[in-house]
Chains A and B, each alone.
Chain A
Amino acid sequence: MDAATLYHSVRLEQDKCKGCTNCLKRCPTEAIRIRNNRATIIRQNCIDCGECVRVCQNHAKVAVTDPVSVIDKFEYKIALPAPALYAQFPQIHNAAQIIAALYKMGFDDVFEVARAAEVVTYAISRTLINEDRPRPVISSACPAVLRLIQQKYPSLLDNVIDIVSPMEAAARIGKEEFAKKHGVPIEKIGAFFISPCAAKYSVVKNPIGMEKSNVDGVIAIRDIFTQLQSLAKGEMTPLDIERASTVGIRWAIPTGESEAVGMRHTLCVDGIENVKHALEQIEDSRFDRLDFVELLACTNGCLGGPLTVENGFVAKSRINAILRHTVDKQIQKTEIFDKAHQKFRMTEEVEPNEALQLTGTMAERLEKAARIEEIEASLPGLDCGSCGSPSCRALAMDIVNGYAHEMNCIFKLNERISTLAGEMVALGASTRFSVGGNREEPNEKLDNHAGK
């Protein structure tokens, strides 16, 4: 997929933007610029992590998802709740109540993404036992992290496990099971992810590692929260579905996946800046021993996703109560588990995104790089953002790429103005129309000139 045509969840509402530099400074891929007092997002560089949505006090950055009415496009509707959904409701500690509420809302079936996470866990473990992979193996579950790796750490793409995300697996299994059970054609079944995550919306529109997503719509948790909350309170008919176990639900918490995968030396990192630091270290081979890394763009993982309602820390503490209401069974090895490592393998290569690289021949790129260094050295190094680029270095790059001018730097502009002002004074002083000079005072030069 060409990075320039990527479909994004994160958008800017121009009229709300005041052109402050909050998002500019916080974007992990430096994808934002302020131009004409408004933020703009460089689409090729945006990974939909939602950082700017969180940080914008004017609510000018928004994460777009499908409206709830998207489910009406299909005759049969399956809800795919992310396990993070269960931790959103104060006083509700039994996920069954929330699942029941989804049925009441009009879904014909519910397939827990946590259940698919168990299948994915099994597929990953099996792949790693059977095949030699470059270590550490990197989780493929967080799409914002995948986009970050494509763009900033392409040398690590081979480390990414080529198994699809639990969301994708859930859509496939959910539809297949429903079709079989009710004898209806798959095309008539829509699968809808109930999402804490903006990046999931984008990855459904522009899949990574597959040609087309099996998910038919992404509904933000915050858009159905109120409705679910009131529906969850009423009478509940017992659920007639196979429930996810603690193994799958734990995927909502950082370390849930890495513990489930069961490798020896694992690491879990949450929060996009931390993830960048970790990837940098992996790239430089700094870890002595590391088999598997779980990387989550959001602090507190998906529990801290930008489309959630509850604070990520509160949600994290609530998930323990939810786990107490969940069966702690061993993964049941039904037939779906058996072939999972083949069935849920990615079918397309995850390609690097070269948006951050210079363009042209190697000689041209070197020349541009040299100019960037030179310009950067001439800038004040304050990284103040007043120029509209996130750092002095970014401005230097923008200048070289033709998107900005040196005079965008207010310090450079000041310098230039003082020089010009100085020149004007000098110019004034050298003529009889001297700026601010006293007309009555004798002008030596002129007198001399006139006198001789």
Chain B
Amino acid sequence: MMTIKETFPVTAGDMTCAGDVSARIKRQMKQVGVPAAVMRRVSVGTYEAEINLVIHSLGGQIDYEMTEEKITIRVVDNGPGIPDLKKAMTEGWSTASNEVRNMGFGAGMGLPNMKRNADEFQIESTVGVGTDITMVFNI
């Protein structure tokens, strides 16, 4: 089966580039003609994951894979990991600093939004190791 695969590194703390990866993925989805509703869900999910890599993680990467049937976004970082996943998945729960909040982030809706928008959502996290998120979107 025809598959497009790409890997994008994301640097921790680099707000100037935050959003670049999701924008690139969106551009390609449009070109391929992925249905608008799916495209919007993928965009929202990827953007939230990308922002989390920038503001919460020590850096990581986004793997993106598109086939005729589905789009898979895997987000892996190098730490610090999330101590309480249940809390992290709660709407409105955030550990974002004031500085980050002042930039308009840290509403605590990122992870819940990823889960809501994806058809399949998996998250694993180990403190000291990192966080590993997979989102699958059916086309």
Contact = CB atoms under 8 A, between A and B. Distances in A.
Interface of A: 152, 154-155, 280, 283-285, 354, 356-358, 362-363, 365-367, 369-370, 372-373, 397
Nearest to A285: B44
Nearest to B69: A362
Contacts of A365: 31-33
Given A363-B68, A366-B3, A152 B30 contact: yes
Interface stretch (B34-42, B52-60, B94-102, B130-138): B34-42
Contacts of A369: 4, 28, 31-32, 66
B93 to A, nearest CB: 18
B31 A154 contact: no
B63 to A, nearest CB: 14
A373 B6 contact: yes
A155 B40 contact: yes
A354 B33 contact: yes
Contacts of B6: 373
Contact of B31 (A280, A357, A367): A357
Listed residue (A280, A357, A363, A366) with the most chain B CB atoms within 10 angstroms of its CB: A366
B67 to A, nearest CB: 7
Nearest to B46: A284
Given A284-B40, A369-B28, A369-B66, 12 more contacts: A155-B37, A155-B40, A283-B26, A284-B22, A285-B40, A358-B31, A358-B33, A362-B139, A363-B2, A367-B2, A369-B32, A373-B28
Contacts of A155: 36-37, 39-40
A284 B36 contact: no
A293 B33 CA distance: 26
B67 A366 contact: yes
Contact of B30 (A356, A362, A366): A356
8 contacts: A152-B30, A284-B43, A356-B30, A365-B32, A366-B3, A366-B32, A370-B4, A397-B31
Nearest to A352: B36
Contacts of A367: 2
Contacts of A362: 32-33, 68, 139
Given A155-B40, A283-B43, A366-B4, A372 B31 contact: yes
B80 to A, nearest CB: 27
A390 to B, nearest CB: 14
Contacts of A285: 40, 44
B49 to A, nearest CB: 13
Given A366-B4, A366-B67, A370-B2, A154 B32 contact: no
Nearest to A369: B32
A357 B32 contact: yes
Interface of B: 1-4, 6, 22-23, 26, 28, 30-33, 36-37, 39-40, 43-44, 47, 66-68, 139
Chain B CB within 10 A, most for which of A152, A280, A362, A365: A362
A353 to B, nearest CB: 12
Contacts of B33: 354, 357-358, 362, 365
Contacts of A366: 2-4, 32, 66-68
A254 to B, nearest CB: 24
A285 B113 CA distance: 11
B40 A358 contact: no
B4 A373 contact: yes
B31 A356 contact: yes
A284 B30 CA distance: 13
Nearest to A359: B33
Given A370-B2, A373-B4, A284 B44 contact: yes
A367 B67 CA distance: 10
A372 B28 CA distance: 10
A283 B4 CA distance: 23
A283 B47 CA distance: 12
B104 to A, nearest CB: 9
Contacts of B139: 362
Nearest to B5: A370
Contacts of A354: 33
A450 to B, nearest CB: 58
Cβ-closest 6 pairs across A and B: A155-B36, A366-B2, A357-B33, A362-B68, A363-B2, A365-B32
A164 B127 CA distance: 57
A358 B4 contact: no
Contacts of B4: 366, 369-370, 373
B30 to A, nearest CB: 7
B136 to A, nearest CB: 17
B31 to A, nearest CB: 6
A152 B29 CA distance: 12
Nearest to B19: A284
Contacts of B36: 154-155
Contacts of B23: 280
A315 to B, nearest CB: 35
A196 B52 CA distance: 46
B125 to A, nearest CB: 25
Nearest to A364: B2
Nearest to A393: B27
A152 B68 CA distance: 22
Contacts of B32: 357-358, 362, 365-366, 369
